Amino acid sequence: MSKFMFLFRGGGYAATGSVSPTELQEHLARWSAWSDALMASGRLAHAQPLAYPPTGKTLRGRDRVVTDGPYAESKDLVSGIVVVEAASLDEAAELARGCPIFERDGSVEVRPVLEHPRT
């Protein structure tokens, strides 16, 4: 099996309006159910949400100029990652279909992870 990273973008409540505490709890329960199912199937290798509100630093160019950020549109901000094991990119994309981020108009970018041979 190969590893694939899901990069979650958008789908946050700040970008799509406020929700009631009940709606938030229900949505978080669907995230838990989805990740629990990945774990139970043996597909979940790693998961990590990013801090909210989005903060950080960006280093750019040869001089590694540091700026505060990220300053992307909220729909484009990376909000977390999951690494799964799957037989192919298509299978990994199918695993991503059940992600609750789509309920909030977010997206999941599915990328193969390069495995380095251990020496």
Provide DSSP, 14-77: HHH----HHHHHHHHHHHHHHHHHHHHTT-EEEEEEPPSS---EEEETTTTEEEE---S-GGGS
- What domains appear along the chain, each with residue ranges and CATH number? 2-112 (3.30.70.1060)
Whether the pLDDT of residue 43 is over 60: the answer is yes
pTM here? 0.81
Whether the pLDDT of residue 52 is over 80: the answer is no
Of 24-28, 83-87, 95-99, where does mean pLDDT reach its minimum? 24-28
pLDDT bucket at 16, cuts 50 / 70 / 90: very low
Q: Which pLDDT value is given to residue 15? A: 47
Whether the pLDDT of residue 17 is over 90: the answer is no
b/e sequence 62-86, b meaning 16+ C-beta within 10 Å: eeeeeeeeeeeebeebebbbbbbbb
Of 31-40, 67-76, 77-86, where does mean pLDDT reach its minimum? 67-76
Which has the higher per-residue pLDDT, 10 or 2? 2
Q: Which pLDDT value is given to residue 14? A: 52
Whether the pLDDT of residue 110 is over 70: the answer is yes
Whether the pLDDT of residue 90 is over 90: the answer is yes
Q: Which pLDDT value is given to residue 71? A: 66
Return all residues near 88 (Cβ < 8 A) that are at least 6 apart: 2
